[in-house]
Structure 1
Amino acid sequence: MSGLLQRLFGRMPIGWLQLTHRRGRFIAALAGVAFANVLVFVQLGIMNAMAAATLRPYDFFVADVMISAGDANALNEGGNVARQWMLQAFADPDVVAGMGLFVGTAPWDRGEKDISLNTLGVDPAQPRFLAPEIAADAALLKLQGAAILDRRARGLPREEAAAIRPQTPRSFETEGRTVTAMTTFAGGGGFGGDGYMIVSDQTFLSLFPARRSGAPDHILLQLRRGADATAVAARLRTLISDDSLRIRAYADAAQEDLRYQQTRRPTGIIFGFGVLIGVLVGLVIVYQVLSADVADHLREYATFKAMGYGPMFFAGVVVEEALVLGLLGFAPGLVFGAAILSLMGALTTLPLTMTPGMAVTVFLGTVLFSVLSGIVATRRLAAADPADLF
């Protein structure tokens, strides 16, 4: 390591030698930096999982424009939308098809613990609005009480989910009704439920008798090929007479839902602060180590300063130490962070994985903040007189 640093800096690796002179402190410092990296990795992993879980249900459908109630900040929040607005939307020449989407939550009592299923009611006669995997089985939903179940639902054993198919359906009770899962699709648990269940709009209304067929939660629209969804949404806002509605391109609705979850929901804000806390912990640890090292070697620095070495030399030494701490502390942080995320993902079925983007971001952040801490730690040397340092 000394030889590599000497070739890199073109001088004796003073920073490395100073750090390794007291191995116990050096190992503790690396552990502290690794711990800060693990904190950041875990929080970033959770934030990414929340983003993936938020956007996942939007992938179940194929639409260009979505009409929602004014207070519908998320797919499963807000009031209902009168179906008559879908009929008004057909007055726009670019709108070619529409479907009401019903959203609710149904519990599946499995004895030890309920499974909370985000239930989506769709029109099985319009498979064009469904993702290919779901559309292939849409005809099964025409049977009253039939459902397509999320095989990745949290709490549902994989072998039990694998056995569900049209020849061997699985019936269960929810909301006082019997639902029969005819087949499965790949959904996944999120922060607002353990999984998903797709049923026909008529089955949905039987599960939630307080709901009305003329008032779905959202209206999905498909446009003619080549039409601009944003431009059509703007026209529909002037065409439809209810000014309170949120009429957006379908992709924009998904991104607005994500921003809402990240910036206005408590979970998103907490995870964001978790990342910030991890960064601050790393900054404090590196700064404390470097400050202590500078204090321990004041006489040596004073000698160098009396010999005519300037501030850039001292900054280079301390930045060298910061780089060593950041680089060597990152590696164990990456390993332990990936292991913890993998374990959490297996236990929660959330998409908690280490991504290359996360690794690069945390690596660059670790190096940057380590160097910043090193620069701050040299401020005492920059203005001090050599005589004062002795």
Structure 2
Amino acid sequence: MSALPRLAALWSRRRIPLAWLLLTRQPARLAVALAGISFAGILMFMQFGFRDGLFDASVTVHKLFDTDLVLLSPRSSSSVSMAGFPRRRLVQTLADPDVAGITPVHWNLVIWRNPKDLSTRSILALGFEPRDPLFTDPGLAPKAKVLNQRGRVLFDELSRPEFGPVAEWFREGRTVESEIGGKRVRVGGLVALGVSFGADGNILTSSETYLQLLPNTPPGSIEVGLIRLRPGADPAEVKQRLEASLPKDVNVFTKQGFMDFEKDYWRSSTAIGFIFTLGAAMGFIVGCVIVYQILYSDVSDHLPEYATLMAMGYPLSTLLGVVAREGLLLALLGYLPAYAAGQGLYSLVRSATRLPVYMDTPRAVLVFSLILVMCMGSAGMAMRRLGDADPAEIF
């Protein structure tokens, strides 16, 4: 018991927090607790990262479009299920005084033949008029001139390697040819777009070549209409005017609405969001169990000491504060390695899958908040054990 007054004196003078002394008294137990918390944090980082990365990947191409408003068919449900609408609807938007220009876009998945091993794989084909702006990247316009030649395509160098060593061969100066739907095409240049949730690769071509590759496309039909507005125009106001003036066989979206439309499809029409959220929830539960067991054991082991402190006049609220601070310390110490490991794993995932998985501030704050709730909640449950601390039993 002689150590207790000295411990209480240290606590009162706040030289060393009592919560820290209790945690570090058994380093092995502390290491197990931090490992469990870090594991739960890493699991939550990865689950949320995969979920958000997949949703962000679904709009990889959408983000690049040089547009303020977008026309789609009401029958279009996502980038992998685009329906056509009359091209004249896009032309009709030019009657609005705030519309500066338009770009009709053909959009469909086609079968690409690997020029090396002759295997086939679906690839997203975008057809447009080479003279029209398509993406915000100013470097596309010079490359698009080659599309005026029939049968030429621009290949996305960020496509999955399963499409063949197209980019490598092209950089070496070799003639790269492939087949799409049994028709011969030649790679005339490279672009950097990135894979999406619905497509592992992309090619750009002229509307003329596109219609040759997909001859069953209805005449005068397009899948996407890009609308550029004059400087200073409000996209929301123009959207309302176009919705009022155009027939109901087209839907009008802002660029952000176009991306949200795609994300909502994958979020609501698939189990992806639920699966990854469930995985994060399982990590949270595992962390809660580990932290609760550690803190409960710690309180139980030191129950006589807590009872002695109560006999010395320390109120129960002060002792509860010690357990709460233990939970806070565990949250802080367990989060740091989880954050560092998350950064490393995100980098590994990007290099292996080319998914846009990055550590951002909202996700970092979210995971820290969950770890904090996990540790403080477990501390709150462990505090009930302090109710069994009876000073009378000590004496």
User: Is TM > 0.5 for Structure 1 vs Structure 2?
Assistant: yes
Following superposition, the deviation at residue 364 of structure 1 comes to 4.2
Question: For residues 259-278 of structure 1, what are the structure 2 equivalents within 5 Å?
Answer: 259-278=264-283
1:68 aligns with 2:92: no
Alignment of 1:20-35 (within 5 A): 20-35=24-39
CA-to-aligned-CA distance 1:231-262 (integer Å, 9 cap, x gap): 111111111122x5321222221233224433
Is residue 112 of structure 2 the alignment partner of residue 108 of structure 1? yes
Would you say the 8 A contact 1:88–1:239 is kept in 2? no
Partner in structure 2 of residue 297 of structure 1? 302
Q: Deviations over 1:57-106 (max 9, x none)?
A: 12332111111122434333342211121233233222232222221112
- Return the alpha-carbon distance in structure 1 between the equivalents of residues 147 and 365 of structure 2: 45
**Matched residue, 2:176:** 170
Q: Summarize the alignment of residues 1-80 of structure 1 with structure 2, pairs less than 5 Å apart.
A: 10=14, 12-80=16-84
Q: Which moved more, 1:86-95 or 1:194-203?
A: 86-95
Say which of 113, 118, 122 aligns to 2:124. 118
Does the Cα contact within 8 Å between 2:48 and 2:280 map onto a contact in 1?
yes
Kindly provide the CA deviation profile for residues 91-145 of structure 1, in whole angstroms up to 9, marking residues without a partner as x. 3222232222221112333338644322111121313666323223121111122
1:256 aligns with 2:241: no
Relative distance call for 1:382 and 1:120 in structure 2 (3 A) is farther
CA deviation map 1:303-345 (0-9, x unaligned): 2233332233122211222123222222322233222222222
1:357 to 1:159, Cα distance in 2 relative to 1, 3 A: farther
Q: Distance in 2 between matches of 1:297 and 1:251?
A: 57
Per-residue deviation, 1:385: 5.3
User: Matches of residues 1-390 of structure 1 in structure 2 within 5 Å?
Assistant: 10=14, 12-110=16-114, 111=117, 114-127=120-133, 131-155=137-161, 160-164=166-170, 168-242=174-248, 244-381=249-386, 386=391
* Equivalent-residue separation in structure 1 for 2:211 and 2:50 (angstroms): 34
Give the Cα separation in 2 of the matches to 1:312 and 1:114: 69
The count of residues paired between Structure 1 and Structure 2 equals 385
Which amino acid in 2 is paired with 1:76?
V
Point out where structure 1 has 5 or more consecutive residues left out of the alignment. Answer: 1-5
The aligned counterpart of 2:7 is none
Secondary structure of residue in 2 paired with 1:183: strand
The normalised TM-score by structure 1 is 0.87
Structure 1 residues 8 and 155: alpha-carbon distance in aligned structure 2, compared to 1, 3 A threshold: farther
The one-letter amino acid of 1:61's match is: F
Identity %: 33
Question: Is this contact kept in 2: 1:76–1:103, CA < 8 A?
Answer: no
C-alpha distance in 1 between matches for 2:391 and 2:186: 83
Task: Give the stretch that moved more between structures: 204-213 or 154-163.
Answer: 154-163
Mark the runs of 5 or more structure 2 residues left unpaired by the alignment.
1-9
* Secondary structure of 2:139 counterpart: helix
The residue identity in structure 1 corresponding to 2:95 is A
Given that 2:296 and 2:385 are in contact with CA atoms closer than 8 Å, whether structure 1 keeps it comes out as no
d(CA) in 2 for partners of 1:61 and 1:305? 68
> Aligned-residue CA RMSD in angstroms?
3.0
Deviation at 1:151, TM superposition (A): 0.5
Distance in 2 between residues matched to 1:314 and 1:72, nearest whole Å: 61
AA partner of residue 272 (structure 2): T
